[in-house]
Amino acid sequence: MPGRTLGEVVRELREARGMTPAQLAEKAQVALSLVMVLESEQKANPPRTVLYRLARALGVPAKRLLDPGG
């Protein structure tokens, strides 16, 4: 859906899969604090490597996170 932020997309995908932020962080092999910061929209442009890890952990194509509003 157009206009959604990266944080909104990550949170919606995570919740749709019944995952906690800690579970997503562990599965993506990133820090829990990073997931929390992304979801709270305090950081809008994490490194692409992080986005690829999150996408893989969420079972979606990386493009879904690389272009969340499109």
Query: pLDDT tens, 3-43?
Result: 788 999 999 999 999 999 999 999 999 999 999 999 998 76
Q: How far is Cα 10 from Cα 19, in angstroms, rounded to an integer? A: 11
Predicted pLDDT of residue 1: 46
Is residue 14 classed exposed, middle or buried when 0-12, 13-18 and 19+ CB atoms within 10 A define those classes? buried
Query: pLDDT tens, 39-57?
Result: 998 766 889 999 999 999 9
Evaluated on CA atoms 27, 30, 35, 36, the torsion sign reads positive
Q: How far is Cα 19 from Cα 46, in angstroms, rounded to an integer? A: 21
Predicted pLDDT of residue 2: 59
User: How much is the pTM?
Assistant: 0.87
Superfamily of domain 6-63: lambda repressor-like DNA-binding domains (1.10.260.40)
60, 32, 35, 42: CA torsion to nearest 10: -170
